[in-house]
Amino acid sequence: MKALCAITQNVLDNLNRNDDSGNQFIVILGIPNAVQTQLDENRNSLDGIPFRFMFDGSTGLIKIIPSYAHAAATHKFVDTITYTGAALGVPLNDIGWAGNTTFRTTVDNKGKQPDNCLLPSTRQGRGGQPPGWPTMVLESGVSESLSKLHEDARWWFENSNGQVRIVIVMSVRRTSRTILLEKWQLASLQYPYIAQQVTITPNTVVGNVPLCLPFQVLFDRLPEGNETDFLLDNQALMNLTLYL
């Protein structure tokens, strides 16, 4: 782990020297079980450097979170969904955020941590039961990681057998204070595609707005009372750039 921590610090230093631009991934081939378990279960295993971990058999992949700004964009999206739900009268217990919980396949030795994900009450695993797959997943990264983020979106759909219904991809470019946000979902033939795409700066939103998150897709039930689909307008989207 000491050598891995040194490599991780080097990747983080390079990102910071280049204004959060460049490579943010570390591939580990033939990862020992003990190291895999530590990366999976101990969020402080890389000397406090924030990361996300995924594995496929004996291959591990670490995604370094380069700065507070990247984490803050994800947190702002989470807060926006929570506050929007509260304004619509959605019970707070129905809006469950699982953070970077590891979700595993039941057949192959695969697992992945999102940047965050939404668990409605039907999937929260109450009473000591394990949670189900989330309905919506958030994946963010630096602009150079966009192709990998697309692979991540497909991973969630394929490995959950379609139980994940929406993946929000956020490609962050801190130097220009810009977020490319994509909403991925499944077509009728179970083919993942980009249903909406917007480019966001502190003062502009270009693309398909408002961002629409269908209520039934998020919560496994029909809306009741004042509940309706979640619509994020220009101001809500521009707020995501607040800490860039």
Report d(CA 21, CA 13) in Å as an integer: 11
Please give the structure tokens belonging to residue 233. Answer: 């307008």
> What is the model's pTM?
0.95
In this prediction, residue 6 carries a pLDDT of 94
In this prediction, residue 224 carries a pLDDT of 96
In this prediction, residue 1 carries a pLDDT of 82
Taking CB atoms within 8 Å and a gap of at least 24, the contacts of 225-234 are 225/89, 226/88, 226/89, 227/88, 227/89, 227/90, 228/88, 230/81, 230/84, 230/85, 230/88, 232/80, 232/84, 233/209, 234/205, 234/209, 234/210
In this prediction, residue 68 carries a pLDDT of 85
In this prediction, residue 234 carries a pLDDT of 98
pLDDT under 50: residue ranges of the chain: none
